[in-house]
């Protein structure tokens, strides 16, 4: 299972929308309810699921889901 496939159900749960399909190009502008509060909930859910922690500065520069995936993969590798 790819990291994107692991991330998909997290997005669907946080945004309470089973129809959401994320790609590496997906941005906050593509998902109607993606605001600052759901962003925090999303980050917390990702941290719990993958047992990782993001630094605030790391998240501010992310432009899309692809960049988020790269950061998650980097952190998961460090934990192995």
Please report the DSSP string for 9-30 in residue order: HHHHHHTT-TT----TT--GGG
* Gyration radius from the chain CA atoms: 12
Question: Which one-letter DSSP state was computed for residue 64?
Answer: S
**At how many degrees (to 10) do helices 65-79 and 36-50 cross?**
30
In CATH terms, is domain 3-79 a member of 3.20.20.60? no
pLDDT tens sequence across 37-79: 999 999 999 999 999 999 988 988 899 999 999 999 999 999 8
d(CA 11, CA 26): 11
Residues 13-24 have pLDDT tens digits of: 999 999 999 999
pTM as predicted: 0.92
Kind and range of the H or E element at 59? Answer: helix 56-60
């Amino acid at each position: 299972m790819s990291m994107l496939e692991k991330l998909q159900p997290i997005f669907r749960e946080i945004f309470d929308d089973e129809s959401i399909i994320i790609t590496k190009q997906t941005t906050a502008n593509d998902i109607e309810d993606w605001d600052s509060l759901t962003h925090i909930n999303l980050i917390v859910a990702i941290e719990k699921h993958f047992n990782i922690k993001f630094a605030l500065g790391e998240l501010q520069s992310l432009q899309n889901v692809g960049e988020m995936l790269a950061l998650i993969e980097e952190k998961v590798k460090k934990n192995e």
